[in-house]
């Protein structure tokens, strides 16, 4: 009885791990490599072991997650690869492959949604918003292809819609997005909560005084957006984030298990320091 219960519990997990190991053994197709060369110039500058791990994680994502075109968009391998490799930055040292994500929807460009928002008089207004990305707790990420391309083309502007929306997915794996993705260790979780709350409060105070710094005002919307915006900065502006917000940088380094500062070569680091 105990044995069959264990087999029932472990069977699907063992099957999934075996399947993923098989996928990782496949070669990364040359046309996919060509896509990275043309569309994601930062990829070639990453350390070789990071490149390899990104490709392997991306292969698993591409085998497991359906990509669906919206508003007439035909999804190509180029789109799938560019999304999967950028999303894999968040998985480098984490277990799992966005396991609650069911599908990725791609629109050709920014997409319009209708939202209900209460106004100060207590009436609910219908609002139309143009979005570049969205992440749903029910396992859906929605992206604008124009913005996926822009994010990959400029790796240092601090804006990357794929990192942003997949950071929300990580956050949503442990319930509603609250800016606290799951990590092991009660002490690590407590430290995360303390540092994030203090920095979030500081950001709101500074914005209230009209002071704008590295972290864009949108991050002050709530704890979930704060975390997603910080994830973009962590991977795209590690030097600036580490210099201006050392404690935040250390928390993200511990969460993601990587140190993007160490990926920058010394000449890039010293020239960035000069500006
Ligand atoms: Zn967001």
Q: Is 101 left (phi over 0), alpha (psi -120 to 50) or beta?
A: beta
CA proximity to 97, closest of 156, 164, 24: 24
Give the position of tokens 């804006």: 159
- Span from the CA of 271 to the centroid of ligand 1 (angstroms): 31
- Beta-bridged to residue 113, according to DSSP, are 129
Which residue segments constitute the domains of the chain, with CATH numbers given? 17-154 (1.10.472.150), 178-275 (3.40.390.10)
- Span from the CA of 93 to the centroid of ligand 1 (angstroms): 22
- Span from the CA of 268 to the centroid of ligand 1 (angstroms): 29
Rg (alpha carbons) of the chain, rounded to whole number:
20
Q: What are the residue ranges of helices labelled H in 178-237? A: 186-208, 223-236
- Span from the CA of 174 to the centroid of ligand 1 (angstroms): 16
- Span from the CA of 27 to the centroid of ligand 1 (angstroms): 34
Contact 107, 145 (CB under 8 A): yes
Eight-state DSSP code of residue 257: S
* Reported pTM: 0.89
pLDDT tens sequence for the chain (275 residues) = 555 665 566 677 888 888 999 999 999 999 999 999 999 999 999 999 999 999 999 999 999 999 999 999 999 999 999 999 999 999 998 888 999 999 999 999 999 888 776 666 767 777 788 889 989 888 999 999 999 999 999 999 999 999 999 999 999 998 889 999 988 899 999 999 999 999 999 999 999 999 999 999 999 999 999 999 999 999 999 999 999 999 999 999 999 999 999 998 644 443 443 33
- Span from the CA of 137 to the centroid of ligand 1 (angstroms): 12
- Span from the CA of 22 to the centroid of ligand 1 (angstroms): 34
């Amino acid at each position: 009885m105990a044995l069959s219960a264990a087999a029932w519990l472990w069977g699907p997990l063992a099957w999934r791990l075996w399947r993923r190991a098989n996928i990782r053994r496949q070669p990364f197709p040359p046309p996919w490599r060509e896509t990275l060369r043309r569309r994601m110039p930062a990829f070639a500058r990453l350390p070789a072991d990071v490149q390899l791990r990104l490709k392997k994680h991306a292969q698993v994502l591409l085998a497991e997650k359906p990509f669906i075109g919206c508003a007439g968009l035909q999804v190509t391998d180029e789109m799938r690869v560019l999304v999967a490799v950028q999303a894999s930055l968040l998985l480098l040292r984490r277990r799992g492959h966005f396991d609650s994500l069911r599908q990725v929807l791609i629109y050709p460009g920014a997409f319009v949604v209708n939202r209900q928002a209460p106004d100060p008089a207590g009436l609910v207004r219908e609002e139309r918003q143009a979005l570049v990305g969205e992440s749903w707790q029910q396992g859906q990420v929605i992206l604008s292809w124009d913005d996926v391309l822009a994010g990959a083309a400029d790796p240092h502007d601090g804006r990357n819609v794929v990192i942003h929306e997949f950071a929300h997915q990580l956050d949503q794996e442990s319930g509603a997005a609250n800016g606290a993705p799951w990590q092991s260790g009660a002490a690590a979780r407590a430290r995360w909560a303390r540092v994030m709350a203090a920095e979030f409060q500081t950001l709101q105070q500074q914005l209230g005084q009209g002071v704008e710094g590295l972290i864009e005002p949108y991050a002050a919307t709530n704890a979930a957006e704060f975390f997603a915006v910080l994830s973009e900065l962590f991977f795209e502006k590690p030097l600036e984030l580490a210099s201006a917000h050392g404690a935040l940088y250390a928390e993200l380094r511990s969460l993601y298990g990587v140190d993007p500062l160490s990926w920058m070569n010394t000449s890039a680091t010293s020239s960035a320091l000069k500006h």
